[in-house]
Structure 1
């Protein structure tokens, strides 16, 4: 059996579900793009090649194995993008919550049923249909659960709005002993530098008390300021619009002392090392063209 346990973003990782880029399918048509960054690369003819993305994900898998992390992978589906495992489900404490995702991505969940067999059925939660929530918007952090959301009246018009108010309320009901703190995110279909697809596109804790933040990703300045006050300014790495676009906040922690980061994130990687963290660098720039990076493609199952 898998005894799920995730209470924060940085405790020592023991088991993880890592997506796969195999059999990724043809380049999507522009009208089928899920996010503005993918659309940009589809139109520019720079959409990533499957072989390059497979190599990037294998480099990440090798780092996990070097740290004795058990790595699960989804079953490979025909012509299906299965890179972003964080979108299909996520773990809080000992519960795995199925994400209610875009309808045409439903089969991605079926591809991890072989992993769910190791989890007690009582520990798998299936939210009702009106609850929209994706793992990229959900961050357990000790006594808190941070959630990115978009509650504008035009929510249905945004394919980039993934977590609704019902999603926030559902997590409050399921985890009444936690303090759930929601953050309104800036959404754009047209401009990838103005679009925070998920909370982890503009914010992420690292180490024990540090955070990566992008102010413009938040619609409400007071909510952004709450995070600044909570982590304290000297512990915050503030990223630019270009760095958000390149997914600087979407790194992934193996432990409070070890962060996996994209090898080209020089400014961030130096900042982390200056603060005593070990930075494991991987090539992940091709995957980032699809609007996701390291956190998006990993779903932690067990952290100490």
Structure 2
């Protein structure tokens, strides 16, 4: 049973919640405002919020009929009968409550205004798949992921440590948002036919697979360029790191073009891995630059 719950949490996609916090904390350290306790709370909150969203997605997609036992994507707990629907709904509420409680630990650092941000995060974690106008069913899933796994995740994680915003961190939040969108793009690329049957209007359903292929490629390149002040102004090691990430991104993109159906499932994990690689390379360049200046 534990294995079934781990699978329902979708561990291969969890780097998309951790990476923004790591990136934000690296900038905080680089700018001498790092707070280890606050950063740790941000990571726990981000993980719990994403797991709650994944559980909710599992439940509500089943209720709407878009997840079936014969789906080409990874096994879904409720649709496959591994976890009863009512139990999954309770688990969604419990994990989301834990995320809210964890988020409250940030109030002493960031102020009571964080409650507003927390409420929005909790609402959209469910509104992604639930409610009268589920965002993922109306072409807004990618926008939601970009905002909450990019702009909000990075900037707020930095703010609760530094108590101010920085333009360079904002650019990083755009990069993280684009890389997070790529994970969803692979998922929807794989599920295009079943989403059409379920009337789930993702961007891939609306604009087609060729559109998704181009966006996937561009998102990785733009993420690199928009954080160029890190890669291209810190010596040869910055260029090496940038080229390393670009080669990995291009390799995954080329594999995406050649796969279909269940063959795309590993590409989903590779895309999440690429975001984490991007983040760790960024951290490495920041650390080297900081040490070289001291």
Q: Give the TM-score of the pair, scaled to structure 2.
A: 0.32
Greater relative contact order structure (CA < 8 Å, 6+ sep)? 1
Q: Say which one has the larger Rg.
A: 2
Q: Give the TM-score of the pair, scaled to structure 1.
A: 0.31
Larger helix share, 1 or 2: 2
